[in-house]
Amino acid sequence: MSPLFEPVALKGMRLRNRFVRSATWEGLASPAGEVTARLEETIALLARGGVGLIISSHAFVLPEGQAGPGQLGAHDDRLIPGLRRLAAAAHEHGAAILLQLAHAGYFADPALTGRPPVAVSAAVRLDDAARRELDSEDIARLVEAFAAAAGRAREAGFDGVQLHSAHGYLLNQFLSPLFNRRRDAYGGSLENRVRVHREILAAVRRRVGADYPVLIKLNGNDGIEGGLEAEEAAAAAAILEGAGLDAVEVSSGMTRHARHGSARKGILGPEAEAYNRPEAECIRRRVRLPLLLVGGIRSLETAERLLAEGVCDFIAMSRPFIREPDLVRRWQSGDRRPAACTSDNLCYGPPRRGEGLYCVTAAKEKKAP
């Protein structure tokens, strides 16, 4: 049997295999950010399909940090009962589950939040909308919000949390030289730009303890001129390793404005797979932490090679599980055909229309005569 299917430990979590469902905006929460029955069923499908570790969407830690409709929330104690049901949906079918914690910052949706988005630096203008620059009190509130959300995740039975510092969201904005033009203790040098991450990590640890898994999703490359690049991302990961971080998921790209988004199209053969491998290798040279790698992995052969060559320790996927939530069980049964996902990114349209995440291409094929 492939070592990908062997049980493995990650910071005390016993996982049945090395496959991870990378956090994906399901678009299935209520308008108030509450867990719904459809969201529970989505998580249950992934768990029944054999995924070892599920990372559940980007849950906003403050109301003004909401990125889009149907987004899960982690900002209020009233959400804990629903989060408890979500964790139970994974555990019932043998999967571990993390809650990804996030704040959209510059890219928050004012139509949903009812207030202008905040920015690390107000001077940065990628569009015509104005943003309010975070002051020291705002940052202190942000740190406490992440810690409180992590406490809710633990109380609800999640096996750990992941801090979202990728794809142009607020923590990534602090790290990115493009977005961070501050002249105080949170701007300038990399040590300063990673400061809020260290403060959040310390606050989370005070809330949930040293034994609770805390991971980060980190952009290895922003993919935009003036943005974060691999060497600085690796140096940031090393700083966070020293601060007590447990693992890094390596991603790249931004939600908007970048040369490429976080989910690239046209992954139609092995040569196009694992497009974040160079960034993972750069980070691997600087840290000893376990690495999760996401980005264009579509075949079992590529996944096995990444593990065998020491590029990463866990294989993370998103779009393939949208089309085939049972992909891991299919591979484990001996059917080694690549994932059916065609990387057309049509799946990212429905959540914005309130329909929830699904594979549009598969739905069309099913309807075809």
Tokens of 119: 């920015």
- How is residue 73 annotated by DSSP? B
What are the C-alpha distances in Å from 317 to residues 31, 124, 280?
A: 27, 32, 15
Closest C-alpha to 319, from 254, 257, 364, 266: 266
Half-sphere exposure for 106 (CA within 13 Å, toward CB): 27
- Which pair of tokens denotes residue 251? 């991603």
212 has catalytic annotation: no
Helix, strand, coil percentages, rounded to 5, for the chain:
40, 15, 45
Nearest Cα residue to 255 out of 360, 138, 127, 137: 127
Burial of 173 (0-12, 13-18, 19+ CB in 10 A): buried
Query: How many Å apart are CA 208 and CA 338, to the nearest integer?
Result: 39
Say whether 167 sits in a helix, a strand or coil: strand
Half-sphere exposure of 9 (CA within 13 A, CB side): 2
Residue 203 has, within 13 A of its CA and on its CB side, a CA count of 19
Closest CA to 64 of 114, 134, 13, 2: 114
Q: Which of 106, 169, 186, 212 is catalytic?
A: 169
Instruction: Give 330: exposed, middle or buried? Use CB within 10 Å, 0-12, 13-18, 19+.
Output: middle
Distance between CA 225 and CA 353 in Å, rounded? 31
Q: Give catalytic residues, as residue numbers.
A: 169
